[in-house]
Structure 1
Amino acid sequence: MNDAAVKSGTREIAVEEVLPHSPETIWKALTTGDLITRWLGMPTTGFEAVQGKRFTFQTTPAGKWDGLIRCEVLEVVPNERLVYSWQSGHADNVGYGSPLDTVVTWVLARVENGTRLGLVHSGFVLPNNDTAFRNMSAGWKKVVPGIGALVTDEVSSKKLN
């Protein structure tokens, strides 16, 4: 785990949603590269649900930051928990594109009507990460329910079961 995610004085984003699909089906959406690209809205390169695997997301560059989000899978418990680091930004940027060293944790729990999907994105150091924290707080609140919508579409078209 990275240092920023465990320091006191950091903030986290937490989102939880009950989705009408099994944990196994939601897990496929969280761990399949092309589906991650679709629900996150950023190209994903090199993702595998294997501890130690490094991968990237690509977003809009800002200042000296190239727009790459560099990640490493930290923990994998199939159909239950996925944790990865999320590092981006550049030291010369202020606001959007400033250095970010955080951790994303997905937790899946079977419930009567499907799966409770929880996301915690932790380690935002304020005030340096104010812009990222604000933008990503709003973004994750759309992304998590969007995973459910994507899975529903994939299941109904028989691409995902």
Structure 2
Amino acid sequence: MSAIHIVRAYPHPPQKVWRAVTDPELIPLWTATGAGARPEGFATAVGTTFRFVAKPKPGWSGVVVCEVLEVREPSLLRYSWQDEGGGEVTEVAYRLEPHGDGTRFTYDHTGFHGLGGFLMAKILGSVRTRMLTTGLPAVLNGLDGPCAPHPGSPRAT
């Protein structure tokens, strides 16, 4: 079985990181360094079903269906992940813990099987690394500044 495991430290408190990774207005801003997915119907409530919608690519509709499996604000979000066209159901977990003056963020995406799963984990792993190394820090750094995105602003859609 293949998996994606990424750990990053951010110089921001867990509550701020939690907001950036769970606020539907902010998620597209940091995922833009990847495929630019936006959540539709997302809420941090167990049982919520939602979709991530990204730009379609050859052989992929750009849509992933998910269900929130576990929430412990501001330390854990776990949800299922499945291509809209079917296939195996995998699982994503965000774990946040205080670390010095900031937050240690652990991203795990598990449940990839076989050669196809191995290849998918490699592709998604490089995209997720870029999002968590470039995209999320930019959003975190901008949240409290004069250029912070506000709901309804062009940057927040």
Cα pair 2:2 2:118 within 8 Å, conserved? no
Whole-Å separation in 2 of the counterparts to 1:76 and 1:154: 23
Q: Which amino acid aligns with 2:30?
A: W
Structure 2 gaps of 5+ residues are 150-157
Percent pairwise identity: 29
Deviates more, 1:99-108 or 1:126-135: 126-135
- 1:34 equivalent in alignment to 2:10: no
Q: Which residue of 1 aligns with 2:72?
A: 77
Q: TM-score, normalised by structure 1?
A: 0.81
**2:105 aligned with 1:117:** yes
The yes-or-no answer on 1:139 pairing with 2:134 is no
Unaligned runs of 5+ in 1: 1-9, 92-98
**1:78-136 alpha-carbon deviations (Å, 9 max, x no partner):** 01000011100536xxxxxxx24210000000011300001001011121223321210
Residue 23 of structure 1 corresponds to which residue in structure 2? Answer: 14
Structure 2 length normalisation: TM-score? Answer: 0.83
CA contact (8 A) 2:41 2:51 kept: yes
Among 126, 133, 151, which residue is 2:140 paired with? 151
Say if 1:82 and 1:106, in contact at 8 Å, map to a contact too. yes
Displaced runs of 4 or more, over 3 A: none
RMSD: 1.8
1:14 to 5, 23, 28: 5
